[in-house]
A = this chain, B = another copy of it.
Amino acid sequence: MNKIITIGREFGSGGREFGRKLAELLQAAYYDREIIAEIAKRTALSEEYVQKIMERRPIAAFPIHIGRSFSFYPVINPVWDQGQAIYQEQHKIIQEMAQKSDCVIVGRCADYILRELKPLRIFVYSDMESKIARCRANINLDDKDAQAMSDKELKQHIIDINKNRAKYYEFYTGQDWGDKSNYDICVNTTRVSIESAAKAVINLLN
């Protein structure tokens, strides 16, 4: 059976770098934005649009007042439907990827989608100060908006993205994002280096 590692990660904690390092050490396939590209190809939507839908909090059923009673209805609107369609496509793609070869899959509820294959489930996190420093170090020079953010703005930006990740995960899995009971190993990258953490995790697969 293929070795499969899934990585949940807080934005700013270096989860992507950690995943890449792991894939390199394992000589395994690495899937992250590749999943978005593949969804875009299959749905004929643009990558940017797919990304936007996936980063938005899913719109859940909410109460609608009808006559004198309150009922719970799913919101019937095109964006909601598209969110569902994208999730279903993602589900299919992740399962195909896991069948193909050893792989590291970052985000996208992969731990839940592949739960029957019992992947090694990792969650990567860090404290806020470390997240801000990592974001500052990684801000693309072309990204004028992010470059111009104050620490306070950047902190709020990080909090918002992580809240959306949590909502997305909880909506599609019914589990708490980042709750350690859903993972085999949780790595705090505040003090532990990503390189040594990746080398450590390799030992769990042998």
Contact = CB atoms under 8 A, between A and B. Distances in A.
A184 B200 CA distance: 13
Interface in A70-124: 118, 120, 123
- How many copies of this chain? 2
A125 B181 contact: yes
Given A203-B196, A204-B197, A183 B188 contact: yes
Interface residues of A, number: 26
A190 B120 CA distance: 12
Interface in A145-188: 178, 180-181, 183-188
Contacts of A138: none
A191 B184 contact: yes
Nearest to A178: B180
A186 B192 contact: no
Contacts of A204: 192, 196-197, 200
A200 B122 CA distance: 14
8 contacts: A118-B191, A185-B192, A186-B186, A192-B204, A199-B203, A200-B200, A200-B203, A200-B204
